[in-house]
Structure formats: C-alpha cells, structure tokens
Amino acid sequence: MIEHGDVAVDAAHLPKGHSSAGSLERHLRQGDFVVTTEISPPDSSDPEKVYRRARVFDGYVDAMNATDGSGANCHMSSVAVCALLSRLEYSMVMQVSCRDRNRIAIQGDVLGGAAMGVSNILCLTGDGVQAGDHPQAKPVFDLDSMTALEIVRGMRDDSRFQSGRKITEPPHVFLGAAANPFAPPLDFRPFRLAKKIEAGAQFVQTQYCYDIYRLQSYMKQVREMGLHEKAFIIIGVGPLASARAAEWIRSNVPGVHIPDGVIKRLAGAKDQKQEGKQLCIDLIQQIREIEGVAGVHVMAYRQEEAVAEIIDKSKVLGGRTCWYPGIDRENTV
C-alpha cells in the first residue's frame, strides 16, 4: 500500500466507495484502529509555531483536528491552521463551529478547506461564548451541528449550497461529528448519535472518556441500534496532569465527566503526572477491547509531547507508523 499525504482531488481520483481521498477514511475503511489528536492553534501569527506543534505528533497519528476557537477562546482559526498544514499534506480534520459564523461563511470555508486538501470536516455546535475570553461577543448559532452536517453533506453529495445554487466541483470530504456519551440525558445520547449519522456523520469523535463503564453501556446501546456499522466511532481520551487539574476540569470545563475513583487514583500516586499518562494508557487499552470502537482521539492540551509516549506504550497502532511529511525520506536514508 502506497502511503501519501492528503491532497485536494477531483471526483475522478477518489478511491472507490470513498467520500474523500484522505488517509483517515482510508485507514478506517481498511479496518485499522486509528489514532487522531488535537492541535491547539497558537495565539500568534508565526507559522513556525503551527509547524512545530504538528511535528510532535509525527508518526503517531492518522489525523489532526484543528480546533475552531475551542472553549470560545480566540486563537488562530482552524481554516488558517489547515491552510498551513495542508501545504505539507498533513491529514487534517477541520473543525467547523456554528458559534462564530453563519451558513454563508461556513459553506464558504468548507469549499476553501476542500480546495486546500482538507479531507475531513467535523461539524460542531460549539461552546457558548460565556466559556471563553470574549463573553461579550455575539453568539451566532445560525445553524447547529446537525443542520451544519446536513448542509455540508448536501454540498458534497448533491453539489448544491443550502440555497439550491449549484457547486461546480463539490467538496470531497469525510464528514465527522462530536458526541458526548457522558452527559445527561444519558438515555437520549444514542438517539442523538443516530440523528447525527442520519444527518451525514461518517465518523464520530467523543468527549473525553474517564468512565469506562458508562462508555461500555453506551456502546452496548449503539451496537444494538447498529450505529457502529453506519459510522466509525472514535473515543476521546487524554492524560490528566494531576488530581487538582482533574478537579478543576470537572468543575470548569463543560461536559467533562470525571468519576471520583479517577481523582483518587491520581491523588494517591507519587508522580501524579506519570500516573495521569498511565491512566490514559490503561483506558485506551480497555477502550480498544470494546466492540464497535474504531479508534481513539487523544486530546492532550498543554501535554502534547505526551501523545507519542501514550500511543507508543498503549501499542494500539500495532507496529504501524502513521504517515507524516518526510517519512519516505527518512526510511530510504
């Protein structure tokens, strides 16, 4: 199998049965257990910062999510991060949040992203503005994640904007959505996932999982509904830096559920940071055993350098080295 990076393609160059020419879709359809991660866009206009942040994941991830003003904080935009990294053919997941842009802007960005070689687009509703550094900003929310998915799918499959106006070359993108199996109302969560899949989601990345039991019961329902056969489900994980950090996240970051047992385990450890990584490795190994899980999404905000170690020790790649710019050069030398 020839490995290469992600580039913009036209319909004639799509692999058969694929929506995109991207390596994330390719690996998922091949049945590989995939690893994705999150790159945090800098508060800077220096492109080197973006390249440096991407490089720490080289070899260990199948795709990188460029976040779109995550936590409603202002950073370099996801489109710009994708523009920089797609030049190097990195496999990008461009996050599109409905908080800051209306449907006109969103559809424009989708076309632009696809033109740059972005193969994956993840539609999110987005955090409320109150969560970030500009609580005085106007929340847009013209669309929600569900309707954004439907519109992007329509652009791709019907070559039409929401208005019905024709698109000459549609965006060949693999469509993603987010899910939170750990927040109330728990019984509704699998149905909401079904709705997202119906709206066009082909892969799903979940919120941080720290409660394996809750995930197991969610996945059981997902399997009963056959949803794992309609979309690839990638579970979010991440290392906690300390018991105190975990407490802070639990009470300040919307939607993250951390059971008491996890905090106790961290508090009782000699080296809490190391224990946080070990906990993440243990969780990945347990998650991997769950039927219907297609991969893990490792989010290690401010601990990005730990991702390689976590993936390496958890052995989920099974000896596979993920593509990165320059991989061929290094292997032939």
Partner 1 sequence: MKKLRHFSTRHSRFFESLYKVFERALLFCHPVFKRIGYDRLEKPVAVIEKATKGLLFDSQMCGMCTLSSTGMSCPMNCPKKIRNGPCGGVRANGNCEVEPDMPCVWVEAWNGSQRMKNADAIRTIQEPVDHRLIGSSSWLREVRHKTSATSEEQ
Backbone angles phi, psi at 50, to 5 degrees: -65, -45
Q: Cβ closer to partner 1: 117 or 154?
A: 154
Stretch 275-304: interaction string toward partner 1, x if CB under 8 A: ------------------------------
67 binds partner 1 (CB under 8 A): no
Which distant-in-sequence residues (6+ apart) come within 8 Å of 326 by Cβ?
A: 58
Residue from 34, 64, 179, 266 binding partner 1 (CB under 8 A): 179
Residue 95 Cβ vs partner 1, minimum distance, rounded to whole Å:
14
From 3-11, 42-50, 144-152, 269-277, span contacting partner 1 (CB under 8 A)? 144-152
Q: How far apart are CA 46 and CA 34, in angstroms?
A: 30
Q: Cβ closer to partner 1: 34 or 178?
A: 178
What does 294-309 look like in DSSP terms, one character per residue? Answer: EEEEE--TT-TTHHHH
174, 203 Cβ separation under 8 angstroms: yes
Residue from 127, 211, 275, 304 binding partner 1 (CB under 8 A): 127
Q: By CB under 8 A, how many residues form the interface with partner 1? A: 37
255, 207 Cβ separation under 8 angstroms: yes
Q: Cβ closer to partner 1: 142 or 247?
A: 142
Using DSSP, state whether 213 is helix, strand or coil: helix
Q: Cβ closer to partner 1: 160 or 320?
A: 160
How crowded is residue 126: how many other Cβ atoms within 10 Å of its Cβ?
A: 27
Q: What is the DSSP letter of 204?
A: E
184 binds partner 1 (CB under 8 A): yes
Structure tokens at 221: 């329902």
Residue 320 Cβ vs partner 1, minimum distance, rounded to whole Å:
30
Residue 69 Cβ vs partner 1, minimum distance, rounded to whole Å:
14
| Residue the block writes with tokens 């965006």 | 171
Please, which of residues 234-263 interact with partner 1 by CB under 8 A?
Answer: 254-255, 257
Q: How far apart are CA 299 and CA 38, in angstroms?
A: 5
Q: How far apart are CA 227 and CA 292, in angstroms?
A: 9
Positions touching partner 1 (CB under 8 A) are 98-99, 103, 125-128, 130-131, 139, 141-147, 150-151, 178-180, 183-185, 187-188, 191-192, 194-195, 198-199, 207, 254-255, 257
